[in-house]
């Protein structure tokens, strides 16, 4: 294989599109294959009421890796105010959380129990403060339940953490890895949530970035550029381990890692996306409601119109509900359960008591979230060894590396891989270096 052989990019989500773009910019000949019928992966639009809606609440954070913005600057970005609400105990709090709300969310009794736990068990307090560092140590994976209980005590674990894990993953928390040990309302530790909440009062930007033409516009922007550069995209063209020998050159693989190493048991959970219409002006100006409690099927409910005028309908308000696959499995039909959805939306204060959703469309997205069960790290390493033995395959992005990460992370990984390849690096050396991407933290 020469370093100038044509490159096959597998997957045309944001990872594959940006990798192909960067390779083309570096003067390499590129072809793309995707298992699906269109580009975009998780950023591909879902048509509802004539609107190209996102697959759930999607935005770019102001602290995102600048390469994404640089590559797409001509696509145009809007800076929009964050109007998130956290729904807890039937009341609404501003999200991201302020310090007072964080403590209010925990509740007086639970805060008191946690305080008592720390006073009587100083070791628990030390563990609590080093939560974020400890949780990354997947080698000594004691599981979510023990990890969290040791740090916040049984009461907070049972009240906040266990129901959330069961709702999202549909498994008992003892089966889930400690690396998933998120605070109930944050991606980091409770301590860093508190620190962030304090500093946020002064420093944090309460805005987000959104492409002027929507995420669909971003995908189209890449697609048009690649078309002009003569890069062919082959759809409905899944790639498995047995197909790889047919390609005489390097392969940047942003498809699912489990498709290359099916025997390693890397599992996923999917997500139901429900788009629903309501009479105009029913919902107010909240962009996203975060709903962690187990009483509700949905974990997030967003309003596409609050992200872009391109996703605003003249005739109706549109809501997008995200229901984790969790306990349901992949074949539940939520469109048959509109009465219950209405009841839950009203109880959460998302729609008024008198309102009801009208037209409803369900889309099930399989394999959206890596299912990090206990001991997953050794299975991940075994899968990567399998891929390394193929010699020409460079796994990249959220799916290729089995990561839970953001859009800009995907672009950053694609960039790192393209640099590695164009500097003559081997697939084995790339795979040896990818555990650094496990440090990437999702931002809500």
Binding site for ligand FAD (CB under 6 A): 10-16, 33-36, 41-43, 55-60, 238-239, 254-256, 259, 271, 322, 368, 397-399, 405-408, 410
Nearer to ligand FAD, 390 or 405 (CB): 405
Shortest gap between Cβ of 304 and ligand FAD (angstroms)? 13
Do 299 and 291 touch, CB atoms closer than 8 A? yes
Q: Which is nearer to ligand FAD, 179 or 399 (CB)?
A: 399
Closest to ligand FAD by CB, 271 vs 291, is 271
Question: Which residue in 22, 42, 128 sits closest to 366, CA to CA?
Answer: 42
Distances (CA, A) of 294 to 56, 158, 200, 326, 343: 19, 12, 28, 11, 15
20 touches 32 (CB < 8 A) = yes
Q: Tell me which DSSP letter residue 158 carries.
A: I
What's the distance, Cα to Cα, between the start and end of the chain in Å?
42
Secondary structure letter of residue 243 according to DSSP: G
Q: Which is nearer to ligand FAD, 113 or 300 (CB)?
A: 300
Distance between CA atoms of 214 and 223, rounded to whole angstroms? 14
Residues with Cβ within 8 Å of 416's Cβ and at least 6 positions away in sequence, in order, are: none
CB of 152 or CB of 218, closer to ligand FAD = 218
Least distance CB 317 / ligand FAD (angstroms) = 20
Torsion angle defined by CA atoms of residues 324, 437, 125 and 146, in that order, rounded to the nearest 10 degrees:
50
User: Which residue's CB is nearer to ligand FAD, number 124 or number 368?
Assistant: 368
Kindly list the distances between the CA atom of residue 14 and the CA atoms of 33, 141, 222, 307, 442, in Å, as whole numbers in the listed order. Answer: 13, 32, 9, 19, 16
Q: Which residue number, 16 or 190, has a Cβ lying nearer to ligand FAD?
A: 16
CB of 390 to ligand FAD, least distance (A): 13
Give me the least distance between CB of 44 and ligand FAD, in Å please: 7
Asked whether the beta carbons of 303 and 319 are under 8 A apart, the reply is yes
In angstroms, what is the minimal distance from the CB of 368 to ligand FAD? 5
Query: Which is closer to ligand FAD, CB of 59 or CB of 167?
Result: 59
Length of the chain: 444
CB crowding 311-338: b at 16 or more within 10 Å, else e: beeeebbbbbbbbbbbeeeeebebeeee
Closest to ligand FAD by CB, 261 vs 348, is: 261
Q: What does the buried/exposed string (b/e) look like for 128-146 if buried means 16 or more CB atoms within 10 Å of the residue's CB?
A: bbebbebbeebeebebbbe
For residue 54, the minimal CB distance to ligand FAD (Å) is: 8
Q: DSSP code of 56?
A: S
Least separation, in Å, of the C-beta of 119 and ligand FAD? 39
> Smallest distance from the beta carbon of 140 to ligand FAD, in angstroms?
28
To ligand FAD, the closest distance from the beta carbon of 221 in angstroms equals 15
**Shortest Å distance, C-beta 318 to ligand FAD:** 16
Kindly tell me which of 60 and 183 has the beta carbon lying closer to ligand FAD.
60
DSSP 8-state symbol, 367? E
């Amino acid at each position: 294989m020469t370093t100038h052989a044509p490159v096959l990019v597998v997957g045309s989500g944001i990872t594959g599109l940006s990798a192909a773009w960067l390779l083309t910019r570096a003067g390499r000949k590129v072809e793309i294959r995707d298992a699906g019928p269109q580009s975009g992966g998780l950023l591909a639009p879902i048509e509802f009421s004539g609107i190209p809606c996102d697959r759930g609440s999607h935005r770019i954070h102001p602290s995102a890796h600048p390469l994404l913005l640089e590559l797409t600057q001509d696509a145009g970005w809007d800076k929009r105010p964050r109007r998130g609400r956290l729904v807890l105990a039937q009341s609404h709090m501003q999200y991201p959380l302020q310090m007072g709300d964080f403590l209010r969310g925990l509740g007086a009794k639970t805060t008191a129990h946690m305080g008592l736990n720390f006073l009587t068990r100083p070791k628990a307090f030390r563990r609590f403060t080093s939560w974020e560092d400890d949780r990354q140590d997947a080698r000594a994976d004691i599981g979510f339940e023990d990890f969290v209980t040791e740090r916040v005590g049984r009461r907070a674990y049972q009240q906040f953490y266990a129901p959330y894990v069961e709702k999202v993953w549909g498994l008992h928390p003892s089966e889930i890895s400690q690396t998933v040990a998120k605070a109930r309302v944050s991606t980091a530790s409770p301590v860093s949530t508190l620190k962030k909440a304090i500093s946020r009062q002064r420093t944090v930007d309460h805005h987000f970035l959104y492409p002027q033409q929507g995420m669909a516009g971003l995908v189209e922007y890449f697609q048009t550029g690649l078309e002009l550069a003569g890069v062919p995209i082959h759809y409905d063209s899944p790639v498995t381990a047995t197909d790889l020998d047919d390609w005489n050159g390097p392969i940047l693989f942003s498809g699912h890692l489990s498709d290359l190493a099916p025997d390693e048991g890397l599992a996923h959970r999917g997500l139901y996306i429900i788009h629903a219409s309501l009479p105009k002006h029913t919902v107010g100006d909240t962009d996203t409601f975060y709903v962690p409690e187990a009483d509700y099927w949905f974990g997030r409910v967003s309003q596409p119109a609050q992200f872009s005028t391109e996703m605003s309908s003249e005739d109706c308000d549109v809501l997008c509900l995200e229901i984790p696959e969790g306990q349901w499995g992949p074949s539940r039909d939520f469109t048959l359960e509109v009465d219950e959805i209405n009841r839950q939306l009203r109880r959460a204060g998302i729609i008024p008591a008198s309102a009801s959703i009208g037209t409803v469309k369900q889309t099930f997205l399989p394999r959206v979230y890596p299912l990090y069960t206990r001991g997953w790290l050794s299975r991940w390493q075994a899968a990567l060894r399998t891929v390394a033995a193929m010699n020409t395959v460079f796994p990249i992005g959220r799916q290729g590396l089995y990561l839970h990460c953001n859009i800009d992370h995907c672009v950053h990984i694609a960039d790192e891989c393209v640099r590695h390849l164009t500097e003559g690096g081997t697939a084995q050396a790339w795979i040896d270096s990818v555990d650094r991407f496990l440090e990437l933290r999702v931002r809500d």
